[in-house]
Each structure stands twice: as C-alpha cells, then as structure tokens.
Amino acid sequence: MEEMKMNVRPTGNRGNWAKKAPAVAELGKKPPQALDLEEAVLGALMLEKDALTTVIDILRPTSFYKEAHQRIFKAILALFDKSEPIDILTVTHELRENGELELAGGAYYVTQLTTRVNSAANIEYHARIITENSIKRDLISISSEVLSSAFEDTTDVFELLDKTEAKLYEVSESNIRKNFDDMRSLMHQAIKELEEKRKQTDGLTGVPSGMTALDRVTSGWQKSDLIILAARPAMGKTAFVLSCLRNAAVDFKKGVAIFSLEMSSLQLVNRLISSEAELDSEKIKKGSLEDYEWAQLNHKISKLTEAPIFIDDTPGLSIRELRTKCRRLKAQYDIQMIIIDYLQLMSGNAEGKGGGNREQEIASISRAMKMLAKELNVPVIALSQLSRAVETRGGDKRPQLSDLRESGSIEQDADMVLFLYRPEYYGITEDEMGNPTAGVGEVIIAKHRNGSLENVQLKFIGKYTKFTNLDSDFGGDGGFNALPNSSFDAETPGAIRLGSRMNDGSQGGGGFPASGFDDEPPF
C-alpha cells in the first residue's frame, strides 16, 4: 500500500486539475486554488457588462481550478465573441444550448455566483491571483513529469532538458502578456533611439552585412525584422549569408547564430576558411594544400577563430526547438543576428509532423520566425527555395515574389524579401547594356517594408564561395573589411544600384561597370 502511494503523481493535460485532486490529496496537499475568488470573478462578469474587457488578457478557461467554472467562463467568452450581452440569463442559455448546463452546476449554481460579489471593482486583482495559482499548478505538473522521467533509465537527458525548457517557456508565454505603451513613453524611447542613430557616422543602424552597396539601402539588418533570402539551388544563398555572417562577427564583433539544416557544422566552417584565407574550396575539401597555403591559412583564420559565431546543425529542427535555443543563446551570449538555412527543411513542431498540409505548416513557421525576431529584438535571416517556375520562364529568368515556394504567407510575414540572381548561371554572358556578367551576383530587394526597392550588384568569387563588394578597391581582402567606419554617400565607388523592376516591370536602370571580372582573388 505504501509503495502504491509513492507512485501516485499528477498526470494529464493542463487544466484538468479537478480530476487530479484526489491523487494529490493522498500526499497530504491540495493543488493551489482560490475557489472563492473564482466564484467572485465569474459573478462580477455577469453583473457588469464591461468587466470582461478588464480581465480577458489575464484569464483563460484553464486558469480556473474547478471544471464547472471553466465551462462557465467558456460560455462567457462565446457570448463576448458573438457581441451578445453577458448576464445570468444569457450565460445560462448559452450553457444549455451547448449541453453543458448540468456539467456547470445547473441554473441555480450559475445564479448563486452573482451573490458572491457586489461589484467588479476588484476583479483585476482577483483575476491575477487566480492566474498565479494556475501557473503554480502548471509548474507542479511539469515538475512531476520531469521527476518521473528523470528516474527512467531510458530517458535521454538532453531531450528531457529541451522538453522541460519548452514547457516552461509555454507557461510563461501563455500567461505573461505585454501590455500597451502610452504615447509619452514611446516618444521618449523614439527620441532616445534617434539620438543614438545620430552618433552613427557610418549610417549603419542595424547589423552590417559588410556589403557597402547593400548597407546603403538597408542601413544594416534591422532589429526585429524577418528577412527572407530566396533563390534557386546553386545560386549561392549559403555563400551570401556566410559572407554576411563573417563580416558582422569578425569586422563588427556582433554575435551571430546560424542554424544549418542542410550542411554540417564542419562543412560551414570549411566554407568560412576558404573565403577567409582565400583558398580554393576544392583544395580545402580534399586537403591538398601546399606548404605556403597552410601558412596562409594559419595566418588568415586567427580572427575567424575568435569570432562570436555559433553554429547548430541539428537536422529537422522544429520551430519550438529553434525558439528555445535562440532564447538561450541570446541570454548567454547576447547574439545580435539569427540565420536559418533553410526554411523549407524545418518542421512545425517537435515531432517533425506538421498539422494540416505543408503550406499551412510553412505559414506557421514563417509567422513563428517573425515572432522570434520581435521577441529577441534581433534580425532573423531565413533562406528559402524558389519554385521551378523560374526555370520555365523565358527571358533573363529573374525571380518574382510569386515564385516563393509553398506559401504566400512568407511574403506577408517578411519585412524584407531578397532574391539572389546570377545571370551567368543561366548562360547569360552580357546584360541588356552589353556589359559582361561573369562573376556578378545581384541582390534584388523585392520587398522592403521600411525602405526602397533596389537591385544591388555584388561580386561573386565561386572558388572561394564568397560575395564581396563589386569593386575590390576597399581593401586587400576583397571588400570584407570595407568601410566599417566611413559614411555612405552617393559617390561611393564600386557600389552600383539598379532601380528595382519587381513592381513595375520596367527594364531600365543603371548598368555594370565597363571592365570585366575574373575569378582571381582580389589581393
């Protein structure tokens, strides 16, 4: 008998604590509860029509301990959603229509709730106490599950840590809501940010990409923005974000986290080594380096070794795991930018099985990424594939917003949508102005919520798998250290921008420099 008592623990989903009470009672303790306050709050909601607006952001049906109270509160919310009056008669009628009147205690019990309180004067204070008890019950449930799992020999301890952290975060997110801000405090914050931006003589207000022409348009990757970088396979998406990552981490000392679902951590590091030391990526892959190349490698990668770069190559990463890991990295290392390579390889939940079709799952992932960017106040760059419609289209095969694969919600959620385009990939050797396209990559800004739409020309060095400024006169390393302290002006050499043709379909705007490009390293 004693052994049976020791194995009793609360189980089940949150909100079913009325059923768990006997098991907990056997241990000599009751779950945290405030039944008198629950009755008072429900009574107040049926007495005053505006009372619900005071507590609707604080309470949820599962906040109530008693199951009958949960059903009554659900009926009140249903009436509120239908813009119908809330009183004893309407709540009773709603419960009767749903077949839950007897489960809620009957008409007499609902009527008696209004006698527990005279007004809704203290309803917010009472509601917060109810919520606090609900949080305590959730924590007890989580702790019980952790305790039970921790005693099992088959438990994966790291998986248990992730699940526990995810559940704790879920409790925090569902109960702690951000309130509105008044205009005075917002204005003070806006003026303070403007003063800080004024001190930035280089014009960068976000995380720099290190690509001068691109930073002129964006002023750096902005906080809380979701940036989608899309292209067809083999266009150089990973090479581009690795170049941006390297510039931000090495030149500007910004902590950057990259989640690679396609390539392993070592493959990414090898790419970084190739671009940093300017050694042929094929030689890096095969390890066939000459003695002088080893010396060059050791000399060049010292800065890269100390850079605040964090790489996670977990395959099939779920959005919940991503959020948990990013929050941890932000708290421990104060990361300033997050990169996901790439969006379509993610899953919508921890089990890796999306609810509904794939389009809905991608939509939920993109929304979650935008929420993550806002929560951590950092830019999130997510790589995305384009549909095959690009390949079947005639002409220069420039990508369009309609080519975003699997979900139109990606376009809606993103603050910026960038397309990476290299004409030489399609065998186009000259642009419409007759300029050579060899070694030229184009970043097409197709959507920019807080700025202009433009096309930015960059230099792509294939054997080093990196993008640099179009003109290599900025520095001996091909533009990686370009202008960290100089201002952006209209005459910046090597920065060529074209008016975007994404919206109006025009064919004009700008041109390439007259000189050609080769694959020689810009020493």
Active-site annotation, residues: 262
Whether a cis peptide bond, with omega within 30° of 0, leads into 169 is: no
CA–CA separation, 160 vs 142, rounded Å?
Answer: 11
**What distance in Å separates the CA atoms of residue 101 and residue 87, rounded to the nearest whole number?**
15
Is residue 39 within 8 A of residue 116, CB to CB? The reply is yes
Half-sphere exposure of 144 (CA within 13 A, CB side): 19
Strands (E), 401-518: 416-421, 440-448, 454-461, 466-469, 497-499
Is the four-CA dihedral 22, 24, 29, 30 of positive or negative sign?
negative
CA distance 166 to 151: 20
Structure token digits, residue 230:
């899309």
β-pairing verdict for 226-231 and 380-385: parallel
* Rounded distance between C-alpha atoms, residue 106 and residue 293, angstroms: 84
- CB atoms under 10 Å from CB of 129, counted, come to 14
Q: Tell me the three-class secondary structure of 25-94, residue by residue.
A: HCCCCCCCCCHHHHHHHHHHHHHCCCHHHHHCCCCCHHHCCCHHHHHHHHHHHHHHHCCCCCCHHHHHHH
Which DSSP string do the residues of 317-362 spell out, in sequence order? -BHHHHHHHHHHHHHHH---EEEEE-GGG-BSSTTS--SS-HHHHH
Rounded distance between C-alpha atoms, residue 306 and residue 253, angstroms: 10
Distances (CA, A) of 428 to 12, 233, 240, 431: 62, 17, 21, 7
Tell me if residue 304 falls in helix, strand or coil.
Answer: helix
Q: Which residue type, as a one-letter code, is found at position 391?
A: E
Q: Which of 329, 284, 224, 310 is nearest to 466 (CA)?
A: 284
Residue count (the chain): 523
Quote the strand ranges of 208-350, DSSP E: 226-231, 256-260, 309-312, 337-341
